[in-house]
Structure 1
């Protein structure tokens, strides 16, 4: 099948699928409705043979080249593809399993992941290990041939809707903090797993804290080698940066909506507003063009590496820039609106939502450090604890 034939196939599917227009989740949907709609959408794509385009056929993919993925993305542009729901599973967990998982894990776990029969989450951050992820203290203690997990994770996106997750736990506290970590596959319905949604400033509850109380995992749940989980974590974080740079999660406040707001408020000819719109438009084009560059790198088999941090950093700043412009135009209406007005709360929601995009996937400070050290070649930040056994480190109680 040629790329042209594949394009016609994709275009025909989207034309007849009834997919809603727009790339951002509708705020009118309840979370459960969004997840159900996302599962149905992904299964329909799978039935049409349009998932896992570059993944091997034996794991549920199509085994096609990167140019076919580009064709699909071009045809999917402008439609809601539920990327927020599947970025972690398909964009991050799947590539790690493809690279480091055993043959048995790939055959067992990847096909249901692609079909959305199982939604996946990432169990990395902890109350005492966020930006310094290697400081994690969730433990995995040997129990016969398997392990017992004990600890707490936090900021776990969609954990309350997830079936499985990839988790980092400390398996050897006598080794330095980067070298005694192992990655596990965790069944989110296993005894001892407790998930509690966290209410955000917007009123949403996408994030969660997850408690692990003596959760049993088997030897077949280890991803990669025991005590070599930092390599798996680095691979996943690199895929996260690429996913966010390739397809940035946008704010619900779009530039087009802000332009329409300016027209309604009679400020379309205001030179200050016009300058703000022009600046935001330039920034938006830069983010879009850089995302295309990252996508091209990935699709031809090149790893963009730390360059992906540029796109992630720029997308977060753009969201805050557009939200601030909306508040400048709307004035008091941005924080006190007529309940009868459709989307009257959009501007307040966007202002509260935008900062999260500069935190998700690594804070702006972390991204700048990555770029400074790995792209510009600046000296590394001093680390006095790199070779100290984890159990000897001084940590907050």
Structure 2
């Protein structure tokens, strides 16, 4: 059943309203504190511009990184985010040094219609992750209504993205609305054949979505470090590779749940191996039954790439979460690069998600426009596709 969402289109009068907007500006940074990927920042532009055009008084809230409780780590202040925001969107923004207090009170009082304020990192306060009622109430006091546009944090029940909904009329921003609609349609009415391509490092983070998709996907294609666990569970030696051997029985069970897992649940038949992870690594292409004990599996091989692409090209819907190889290094990037190219501009529904997947398509020069939908949520996307009710989604489907 389609989810009924209350969006900012439903709030007809926005002029002069103090609108608290929870965005996901948790952006990756390098060791020098410079932002390396602005995907999530750019994804919020439609909501923010709409509110500005409607002459709302916009107050943005976000977390950044994982600061220690009540420690204001200078590297995790929102200053660089505010600077990047202004540079990209050409929108003036006043960045506050705190989340609340006299300075914030005064700044919001003086905020004019169509202006934007960004509060300091909400996770500088330990009360944020506890969804503390008093902290939440203080944040809520700055707004007349609340817009949640942070899908990347929708699986968390924190003060700034969920708790505020207890105090203010609550709406979905355009990003959150789009994520909900696309992923709901994927779960309920996907065009078939449906192919689920899953990679990444560990099985633990993908168990739920794998179990959920085994009954929905026509074919599951496995790559990355995740595939090593399934290769091991299939009776092959994975050498010195990343492998969760204690998850062997779980992997066997997941494969056995496919009536004919050799056709519906595919693991690599050949792999790229090396004795080190480096740009100058010497690589070998081997069948999975021939991996020596002293080498690591670091990418899918050419025969596997060809097989996976053949299946993808016949699909009507493809979901990709997690790279099939260690794409950050050139010797192990071919699998990921080939999958990205194969999916780009494919005349079918292509849905991508996960931070590494997004990073990979950018690395290999692809535009988001080449795919049907690129999700801004990693963990949130996986939990949504598991069929879980996300706190940040629930609040925009409740009557307020």
Q: TM-score, normalised by structure 1?
A: 0.25
Higher RCO (Cα < 8 Å, 6 or more apart): 2
More helix, by proportion: 1
Q: TM-score, normalised by structure 2?
A: 0.25
